[in-house]
Copies of this chain bind each other. A is one copy, B any other.
Amino acid sequence: MTAKDTRAPQLARLAGLVADETRAVCLLALLDGRAWTAGELARHAGVAASTLSGHLGRLVAGGLLAEERQGRHRYVRLAGPQVAQLLEDLAAQVAPEAAARPRTLRESTAGSAMARGRTCYDHLAGRLGITLTDALTERGLLSQDAGFALTEAGLRWFGAVGIALDRKGRRPLVRACLDWTERRSHLAGVAGAALCRHALDTGWCVRIGSERAVKVTPSGERALGELLGIEAAALR
């Protein structure tokens, strides 16, 4: 027996946290970037509150979730962008086979709203995310030659639009995130998150219901038309 890799036990433990379907459902739900209560997750996953309580304990102890107690509520959210990135990577790995037909009409319409535009942890995804990524690329603001990278013009563009980019952390400025519905990469990383936040703050986009789906508002259509030359029809 040669020297085993010392990381194996911890790697197995980490994977084990995702390796349960109930926990996987929760983690994917939390990819919307918001905090959910334990009860909401229990109903979403279809298990008893007591069962879910145990799962949350494990996920928090394992460092995947951060929790915040407010009164009688226990709010949990993903512990950080690294966790979201990890889940997105894992999900992208299985996405090819996961392109299954939705069952009910309700799921179908909800699915098509999700396909049009949604948030992916903290950035924009779906056709909306791809459209934005393509527009940035066409205008020479984003380079896709060797991985994603912001060009000089791209950096200026963010500044001109009034979107601040925090370059201090370890998180990459831009990152490609493989889109689940479009099968193509969209903009993630610090810039992707800042753009998404700006879009929601300024009313370019609004969330639909309580899900991850988002839609572009009329003012958003105007702004994106002016700033990136995107035609309104491409956003619907």
A interface with B by C-beta (< 8 Å)? 1-21, 23-25, 27-29, 43-46, 82, 85-87, 89-91, 93-95, 97-98, 100, 102, 106-107, 110-111, 143, 145-150, 172-176, 180, 189, 191, 210-211
Chain A binding surface SS class:
helix
Number of copies of chain A assembled together: 2
Nearest chain B CB to A1 CB, angstrom units: 5
Interchain residue pairs A-B with the least CB separation, the first 3: A15-B18, A16-B19, A146-B173
Cβ-defined partner of A146 (8 Å) among B2, B45, B107, B174: B174
B148 touches A106 (CB 8 A): no
A5 touches B28 (CB 8 A): yes
Separation of A70 and B66 alpha carbons in the complex (Å): 49
Separation of A16 and B106 alpha carbons in the complex (Å): 30
B11 touches A44 (CB 8 A): no
A172 touches B149 (CB 8 A): no
* Interfacial chain B residues near A86, Cβ < 8 Å: 89-90, 93
User: Which chain B residue has the least Cβ–Cβ distance from A111?
Assistant: B3
* Interfacial chain B residues near A43, Cβ < 8 Å: 1-2
Nearest chain B CB to A85 CB, angstrom units: 8
A173 touches B145 (CB 8 A): yes
* Interfacial chain B residues near A1, Cβ < 8 Å: 43-46
Most buried by B among A20, A25, A43: A25
Given contacts A2-B211, A7-B28, 14 further A-B contacts (CB under 8 A): A2-B29, A3-B106, A5-B25, A5-B29, A9-B24, A11-B18, A14-B93, A14-B94, A15-B90, A16-B19, A18-B19, A86-B93, A145-B149, A147-B147
User: Which chain B residue has the least Cβ–Cβ distance from A106?
Assistant: B3
Separation of A165 and B4 alpha carbons in the complex (Å): 34
User: Which chain B residue has the least Cβ–Cβ distance from A176?
Assistant: B172
User: Which chain B residue has the least Cβ–Cβ distance from A95?
Assistant: B7
B19 touches A12 (CB 8 A): yes
* Interfacial chain B residues near A145, Cβ < 8 Å: 149-150, 173
User: Which chain B residue has the least Cβ–Cβ distance from A180?
Assistant: B7
Separation of A102 and B4 alpha carbons in the complex (Å): 11
Cβ-defined partner of A8 (8 Å) among B24, B111, B176: B24
